[in-house]
Amino acid sequence: MACNIYLKVSSVEQPLSALQTPQKGLVVATDRVSTNGTSKTDNISLHGETNSHSTPAAASAQSANTGTSGGGISALAACTSTGGSNGSDTGLDTRGSEAALAGGPTTTLGASDERSDISSIGSGTTGSMGRGLGTSHRSSGNLHKRASSVIGLDSMIDNRREEGGLTANVVHMEVPFGKPIEEVYDGVQTGPVLGSGISGVVRLVTHKATGVKYAVKCLDLGLVETEEGLNQLREEIFIMCQLDHPNIVRLEEVYESHSEIYLVQELCLGGELFDRLDEQPDYHYTEAECARLIKQMLCAVRYLHSKGIIHRDLKLENFLFSSSAPDSELKMIDFGLSKHFQYGEIQQQAVGTPYTVAPEVIRGRYDERCDIWAIGVIAFLLLSGDPPFGGCGGPEPLMEVRSNILNGAFEFEPAEIWDLVSDKAKEFINALLVTNPKFRPTAMDAQKIDWLKEWSNRTKCENDQTLNPNVVRALVNFKEFSDMRKLLCEVLSFTLLPEQIKDLRKEFETLDTDGSGEISLLSLKQVLVTNAGAGSLGALTEEEVEDIFNAMRVKKTETTIRWHEFIAAGLSQCEVDDRNLRLAFDRLDNDHKGVSVLLT
Ligand SMILES: Nc1ncnc2c1ncn2[C@@H]1O[C@H](COP(=O)(O)OP(=O)(O)OP(=O)(O)O)[C@@H](O)[C@H]1O
Ligand SMILES: [Mg+2]
């Protein structure tokens, strides 16, 4: 795979290198060159500590490998201001940045900021998660001499037990230093490398008992040197545990050894969008295909933001195709820089990747709309094959990239490509690449922009929009199931493989009328009342639909149906086999006693 090949980018001019010679805690970009001359640029952390899995040594090594001596977001941010106060609208205080790099006051601020995030996640569940995590390792001194989980997996497991276990998203967490991952999966250390990033490698592994294949991201704890690095690592895991969306990669299991954390994820066999783009005629997509992909991205981003999570590193490399089929779905990956946020909260950490970073991130005051900017950049890239502001390994110096981004300076050029692109597509890009985030659409607003709506409607007309009557029947029957049976369906739903849920995916999309990635009662009513009326079941009343809705909703406090809640209800339409039963049993048999006790 092209994504595994690291090439030297000696021709890339880096005039900011003087400003950005590797310093303590500073991560620099590694460029992975693709065939059309653009190169993949890994993400950057200004303060080092916010990129969880990086070290100065790793940074220097990468710098040496790529022939660059610095750059990226840190460079973009560091040259922004000549002394405005940290977080002021005029720019990020470079002295503050240096203080952060040296472990000064800004680091402390950052750290408490992160800790409060963790506690808010904790309070969202049981309230104790964050407290347990926040203190234990700060007092431990040496991270490598420890008796309990570095990232607090033990507390997470305890909290889940207190919660009643299976009602949350079923991500199995192996007790730290418990069963080694090598006992469960083949290929953890030797399997084919699917990709690699700043945090380590991602390998293809095989579940020994079932033969099912997964992707395992190995995070080397030796590379995490600061408390904030650990916090970000916890945040990545918390966030992935929380997510349940068809366009977001699913975290299946978490293991911890003395030196590594392993994230077992759903396997995406279709490769990175970056590589697929390279394979297109003239290195760009058609409008129809671009709209199909952007629609899926926005659906995932809208969902993410609705859960109070900001991704902060959306780029071509962080969207994978589920399979190699031409109509394969996209999956968002890599929550290594993601963060929980409160609405209205201002973020200040300059993190991201140069070619998709938003101007307000460089300035050091931003919110979740930085993700929308990145989608605008991606749309431009998908339609033309070139990044609007540079920063993708091209000849332009980083200073120029920075200036282009801050000024929102891009052109629909070259004419031979853009003359063939509709005005509506250009309007879409113009709307997303607005430098003032206040005037940039939210993900939901962006979904409603004409260009996307029109392509989406065209696809809807081509595809049958009626629900499969068997699925309607399954949903109706589901409400009669006992709680125990519903619970088992829920557990089984998390063991299904992409090919087993392909059909339900289409039905889910029909029910998700507003593109939120979840099903609301209103949309369920709209679709079910119409469909059942047209089918053999006869008309369903609104009350009956409400009963179905309530039966599907595992968490009664939620106002929507999640992707896997829907799969659980439609399970009778999937071909469940021995592999699923085995995986489900393993999930329930947390203590490996060979028995599962279910308390409902
Ligand atoms: N679930 C998956 N299935 C297949 N390949 C994957 C999967 N997850 C990650 N990869 C591959 O591994 C690469 C690195 O993964 P990821 O982005 O999560 O790691 P990272 O170290 O955080 O990267 P980055 O340097 O972008 O921060 C991806 O770009 C992709 O090529
Ligand atoms: Mg990545």
- For 27-36, 96-105, 426-435, 509-518, which range has the lowest pLDDT when averaged over its residues? 96-105
CA separation for the pair 582, 11 (Å, rounded)? 53
pLDDT band, residue 144 (cuts 50/70/90): very low
How far is it, in rounded angstroms, from Cα 349 to Cα 127?
26
Of 19, 27, 23, nearest to 229 by C-alpha is 27
Sign of CA dihedral 400, 401, 406, 408: positive
216 CA to centre of ligand 1 in angstroms: 9
Q: So what's the pLDDT on residue 132?
A: 26
How much is the pLDDT for 88?
Answer: 33
Average pLDDT, stretch 302-330? 96
- What is the CA(42)–ligand 2 centre distance, in A? 7
Our mutation pick for probing the ligand 1 site, out of 333, 335, 353, 392, counting the most ligand atoms within 8 A of Cβ, is 333
Q: Which ligand is nearest to the CA of 217?
A: 1
Q: Is the pLDDT of residue 72 over 60?
A: no
Q: Please report which ligand is nearest the Cα atom of 196.
A: 1
**Interval 459-505: pLDDT, tens:** 776 666 688 889 988 998 999 999 889 988 999 999 999 989 999 99
- State residue 571's pLDDT score: 94
What is the topology classification, in CATH, of domain 463-588?
Answer: Recoverin; domain 1 (1.10.238)
pLDDT band at 94 (very low <50, low <70, confident <90, very high): very low
Q: Whose CA is nearest to atom 29 of ligand 1?
A: 317
Question: Per-residue confidence at 324, pLDDT binned at 50, 70, 90?
Answer: very high
Cα of 371 vs centre of ligand 2, distance in Å, is: 15
Nearest atom in ligand 1 to 336's CA: 22
Confidence of residue 588 (pLDDT cuts 50, 70, 90): confident
Give the residue, 166 or 124, on which the prediction is more confident: 166
Closest ligand (CA of 205): 1
The overall average pLDDT reported for the chain is 76
**Where is average pLDDT lowest: 17-21, 79-83, 264-268, 488-492?**
17-21
> Which residues sit with their C-beta closer than 6 Å to ligand 1?
3, 42-43, 194-199, 202, 215, 217, 249, 265-268, 272, 317-318, 320, 333-334, 336
pLDDT band at residue 136 using 50, 70 and 90 as cut-offs = very low
**Does the pLDDT at position 202 exceed 90?**
yes
Q: Ligand 1, closest atom to CA 199?
A: 21
Query: Which pTM value belongs to this model?
Result: 0.80
Nearest alpha carbon, ligand 1 atom 17: 334
Whole-number Å distance, alpha carbon 278 to ligand 2 midpoint, is 17
Q: Give the ligand 1 atom nearest the CA of 202.
A: 12
**CA-based nearest residue to 108, from 19, 13, 208, 228:** 228
The token pair that represents 498 in the structure block:
């992409």
* pLDDT tens digits for range 56-69: 333 333 333 333 33
**Which atom number of ligand 1 is nearest to the Cα of residue 317?**
29
Ligand 2 midpoint to CA 475 (Å): 37
> Dihedral sign, CA of 301, 307, 312, 316?
negative
**Annotated catalytic residue 313:** yes
Distance CA 520, CA 516 (A): 9
Q: Catalytic: which of 31, 275, 313, 586? A: 313
Residue 126 has pLDDT above 90, yes or no: no
